Amino acid sequence: SMSNNVKKMFGLGKGLESLIPKGKQMHPEASKENVFYVETNKIRPNPDQPRQDFDQDGLKELSQSIRKYGVLQPLLVTKMEEESPRGKNVYYQLIAGERRLKASKLAGLPSVPVVIRDDFVTKGAKFEVALVENVQRKDLNPVEEAEAYERLAKEFGLTQQEIASKVGKSREVVANSMRLLGLPKDIQESLRGGILSRAHARALLAFNDETKQREIYGHILGGRLSSREVEQMASSSKPSKSKKAKLSSQEINRFQTLEKN
């Protein structure tokens, strides 16, 4: 059996529970898993991986850390077999941990720690776990995140509340994220590419009219409007029954100048 500090190092017993928080009723003993070492080249990525854009700098950094400390959290895989001319060929399909796998290959690791799950036979479950794990990665761009929520909703029939509890975020965060998919496609692309910030994109959603969105979007790209100013413009352009937010004369001048530009 592995010594305790090695167990600590590999985050043993985290397995799926670290991806889908189950609340307090989990007994620590129940989630213990066996960690095996599998040759890196025997592990294949999940063909349904929703995530395509991997940040190269982030991968390099992770691979340096892996070279130094090893893989701290085992990859989640399922065992697969395929017929080959020489008989059965065993390989492992990744359920979760594609960044760790890519970084391990980059670091030249011959083998990596894995937890083998045989209860993920259904494609759906594997895909759902891959989606959930992806959303919990820090480096997803806002559009990828929104698309992952959308797929969880459409393909698994999950409500926003259910998605929120699976990914450990509030329902509001999930709802706001999904609303970003209502923006025109080219604006979504610049959000995906990091040209438009999430805050600016959310502020744009306050305008119901696409022409207005595009006009303001132009100003944002020119670097002339903060997301707060965009929100203020949206609220001041909406006819509201309550008292309108008072704009200072300075702000009114600024907006008028912008509108002339």
Active site (catalytic) residues: 98
Overall size of the chain counted in residues: 261
Sign of CA dihedral 188, 173, 200, 50: negative
Distances (CA, A) of 202 to 138, 141, 147, 216, 245: 19, 14, 16, 12, 19
Strand 75-84 relative to strand 87-96, pairing: antiparallel
Q: Which residue has the tokens 């890519």?
A: 102
- Residue identified by tokens 């979504």 is 188
Burial of 11 (0-12, 13-18, 19+ CB in 10 A): middle
Task: Determine contact, residues 127/51, Cβ cutoff 8 Å.
Answer: no
Task: With H, G, I as helix, E, B as strand and everything else as coil, classify residue 32.
Answer: coil
Phi then psi for residue 111, to 5 deg, are -145, 160
Starting at the edge strand found earlier in the chain, the sheet holding 75-84 runs: 35-39, 111-116, 75-84, 87-96, 43-44
Which tokens go with 253? Answer: 């001048």
Neighbours of 127 (CB within 10 A): 21
- CB atoms < 10 A from the CB of 116, how many? 18
